[in-house]
Amino acid sequence: MTGSLLPVATPRRAGRVVWTQLRARPLATAATALSAVAAAAAGLLAPAVLGRLVDAVDRGTGSVWPYAWALLGAAVLAAVLTGVSTVLVARLGETVLARLREAVVDRALHLPSATLDRVRGGDLLSRVTDDVAKVAEAVTSALPQVAAAGLTVLLTLVGLGALDWRLALAGALALPLYVLALRWYLPRSAPRYAAERVAMGERSQALVSSLQGVDTVHAYADEARHRAVVDERSGQALRITLGVFRLFTDFGWRMNRAEYVGLAAVLAVGFWLVRDGDTTVGAVTTAALLFHRLFGPLGLLLVTFDDVQSAGASLVRMVGVADLPVPPSPAPASGRPAVELRGVGHSYGGAPVLADVDLVLAPGERVALVGASGAGKTTLAGVLAGALRPTAGEVLVDGAPADLRAHVGLVSQEVHVFAGTLADDVRLARPGATDAEVAAALRTVGADWALGLGLGTLVGDGGRTLTAPQAQQLALARLVLADPPVAVLDEATAEAGSAGARDLEEAATAATAGRTTLVVAHRLTQAARADRVVVLAAGRVVEQGTHAELVAAGGRYADLWSAWTARG
Ligand code: ADP
Ligand code: MG
């Protein structure tokens, strides 16, 4: 299967989500909109005042000073309002984005691990990081600019029309040239921007790949070749960027041509109107200045168009995740239930990894699952713990379908220790637990080293690094604290030092005491101590019985056992 498992929202849906957020903040939204309109309107003041000034000069009467002060006032007002509106637009955008980001992270954490497994590192990570960053950048930089430019163009056109429709019409002569410039630019720019993005991606990929493999690069004294690759990609990215720049300069010339043709038309028509006494020199000046003001924002709208478009693409990806339903939290269960796998099959999209597995764990029974690497043991453990949904069959608790997460505690092969204190890491199994309860759980699994270090010791990223057996012990302490009626343990494959492994075995036995338990056993001494042994081969149960029965039967388990004991 190709494509993303994560949904993407329609633009309409994304728009509605943003609108809902804005409506929840009517005051901030109204103030922001008002400030943006006021800022754009204030920009019209300076051309108006200059026009009056020209008329005053033309008449040769009165003082220039009132106009000078008005001009200064207009400039200050426009600057202040622009500043205020930029801040308000960015702040409102950031607030809405923050809500959306929280929703994305929350839904990401609730995704079933089967989905997470397939999108981890890729799509999901890029939605939580790249997409959020892209939208954030657009919100703080492109959005205020686009809002200001759009309103300026709109209000300037209105102002121009209100001033003198004949002058406005003359300015409209620029329109065909402007459209021609656009028609020249747009088909050329899109592929170049796309190529630029690809080239930049390749450049960082080359760099990241060289740095990640730096040990190998050193080992083979391969620095020069790697630098050459990075240099070549950098050169290519630079060439394309310069091409984009040249294209934009060319486009600027074409825009200028349109602007000056329009300006010449405004001035020519203005000249006739003034001569016939139909308008004043000042009005023509104002019209020319207003007309000139159109082109800056028009160019800006075009430049930011790409940013806005790519931010839009990111937004629908974010909303797609934010709209995912949140599954209800399971209610904790107790007792010693029977667990039954009935006709369970599982595949990761390709060939089946588990097929037709029937397995009953009696209340309080301890079952060991053994089999070669790749037989499907970890998959079976995941299905039993509710971390993986079976693609065939069902898992029953006391004879009925149930939310397995409420009944089953899973200790995985590889334990992730979270950044934070030792106590925090264990407490994630039961957030309300006291320090005394955390300490008791650690003592139950024999993690004396943890008590020696102290519950407040920082571990995980940025803290003390723990060994794999220590991490396993923390996971067992979590299990004890969570106290589920059913336990599933996936024993770590590679264990350094058999003494540590024996400690872990004792810890596992203590942690699972009184629970219905399935242990994926790599150490067959574990299997020998279980109530029953189940042998898995190529996703199927091929043998089951007590250790003694299976050894006597002389089948696959007997072979595994003699190989294990021969190892010493
Ligand atoms: P075991 O724990 O017995 O070594 P696993 O359950 O881990 O076996 O794996 C069984 C088979 O499923 C293997 O062939 C493995 O490559 C495959 N497999 C395991 N996890 C995944 C996954 N997330 N995606 C695709 N294939 C997987
Ligand atoms: Mg495994």
Closest Cα partner for 386 from 451, 333, 432?
A: 333
Question: Ligand 1 test: best mutation among 116, 346, 348, most atoms within 8 Å of CB?
Answer: 348
Is 412's C-beta closer than 6 angstroms to any atom of ligand 1? no
pLDDT over 60 (residue 4) = no
Are 177 and 261 in contact by the 8 Å Cβ rule? The answer is yes
Pick the more confident residue, 220 or 331.
220
Are 451 and 439 in contact by the 8 Å Cβ rule? The answer is yes
pTM: 0.64
Closest Cα partner for 214 from 202, 227, 201?
A: 227
- pLDDT tens digits, residue range 186-210? 888 878 877 887 888 788 888 888 8
Ligand 1 atom closest to residue 371's alpha carbon, by position in its atom list: 3
* One-letter-per-residue 3-state SS of 311-347: HHHHHHHHHHHHCCCCCCCCCCCCCCCCEEEEEEEEE
**pLDDT at site 400:** 85
**pLDDT at site 376:** 95
* Residue 340 backbone phi and psi in degrees, to 5: -135, 130
Question: Ligand 1 test: best mutation among 1, 120, 353, most atoms within 8 Å of CB?
Answer: 353
349: left (phi over 0), alpha (psi -120 to 50) or beta: left
517-529 b/e with 16+ CB inside 10 Å = b? bbbbbbbbebbbe
330 — pLDDT class (breaks 50, 70, 90): low
Q: Which ligand is nearest to the CA of 371?
A: 1
pLDDT over 90 (residue 151) = yes
How many residues are listed for the chain in this entry? 568
Question: CA-CA distance, 147 to 222, in Å (whole number)?
Answer: 51
**pLDDT at site 211:** 85
Which residue has its alpha carbon closest to ligand 1 atom 27? 348
**pLDDT at site 46:** 93
**pLDDT at site 398:** 86
Are 423 and 438 in contact by the 8 Å Cβ rule? The answer is yes
493 — pLDDT class (breaks 50, 70, 90): low
- pLDDT tens digits, residue range 341-388? 999 999 988 889 999 999 999 999 999 999 999 999 999 999 999 888
Count of helices and strands (H, E) across the chain: 24, 12
Pick the more confident residue, 80 or 330.
80
Ligand 1 atom closest to residue 349's alpha carbon, by position in its atom list: 25
**pLDDT at site 481:** 94
Pick the more confident residue, 140 or 559.
559
**pLDDT at site 114:** 60
Which residue has its alpha carbon closest to ligand 1 atom 24? 348
As assigned by CATH, the class of the 339-566 domain is: alpha beta
Q: For residue 294, what are the CA distances in angstroms to 40, 86, 228, 265, 297? A: 12, 19, 47, 15, 6
Most confident of 43-57, 111-125, 395-409, 496-510: 43-57
pLDDT over 60 (residue 494) = no
280 — pLDDT class (breaks 50, 70, 90): very high
Average pLDDT over residues 1-30: 84
**pLDDT at site 503:** 79
Average pLDDT over residues 318-326: 87
306 — pLDDT class (breaks 50, 70, 90): confident
pLDDT over 90 (residue 477) = yes
Which residue has its alpha carbon closest to ligand 1 atom 12? 353
Closest Cα partner for 156 from 46, 31, 30?
A: 46
Question: CA-CA distance, 271 to 287, in Å (whole number)?
Answer: 12
CB under 5 Å of ion ligand 2: residues: 378
Q: How far is the CA of 351 from the centre of ligand 1 (A)?
A: 11
Q: How far is the CA of 380 from the centre of ligand 1 (A)?
A: 10
pLDDT over 50 (residue 2) = no
The full set of domain ranges for the chain reads 8-164+304-327, 165-278, 339-566
**pLDDT at site 199:** 84
**Lowest model confidence (mean pLDDT) among 31-45, 252-266, 314-328, 439-453:** 314-328
482 — pLDDT class (breaks 50, 70, 90): very high
**pLDDT at site 498:** 58
**pLDDT at site 346:** 95
Query: Biggest alpha carbon distance in the chain?
Result: 121
Average pLDDT over residues 435-461: 92
Interface confidence, given as ipTM, is: 0.98
Percent of the residues in the chain that have a pLDDT greater than 70, as a whole number = 94
Average pLDDT over residues 397-402: 86
- pLDDT tens digits, residue range 106-122? 888 887 666 666 655 46
Q: How far is the CA of 384 from the centre of ligand 1 (A)?
A: 15
pLDDT over 80 (residue 57) = yes
Average pLDDT over residues 402-415: 88
In CATH, the architecture of 8-164+304-327 is Up-down Bundle (1.20)
Average pLDDT over residues 14-23: 93
Average pLDDT over residues 142-165: 91
Which residue has its alpha carbon closest to ligand 1 atom 13? 374
pLDDT over 90 (residue 17) = yes
- pLDDT tens digits, residue range 84-110? 999 999 899 999 999 998 998 888 888
Q: How far is the CA of 383 from the centre of ligand 2 (A)?
A: 13
**pLDDT at site 568:** 63
Are 435 and 492 in contact by the 8 Å Cβ rule? The answer is no
What is the rounded average pLDDT for all residues in the chain? 88
Count the neighbouring beta carbons within 10 Å of the beta carbon of residue 63: 8
Is 376's C-beta closer than 6 angstroms to any atom of ligand 1? yes
468 — pLDDT class (breaks 50, 70, 90): confident
- pLDDT tens digits, residue range 522-550? 888 889 999 999 999 999 999 999 999 99
Question: CA-CA distance, 287 to 44, in Å (whole number)?
Answer: 11
Average pLDDT over residues 393-400: 90
Is 372's C-beta closer than 6 angstroms to any atom of ligand 1? no
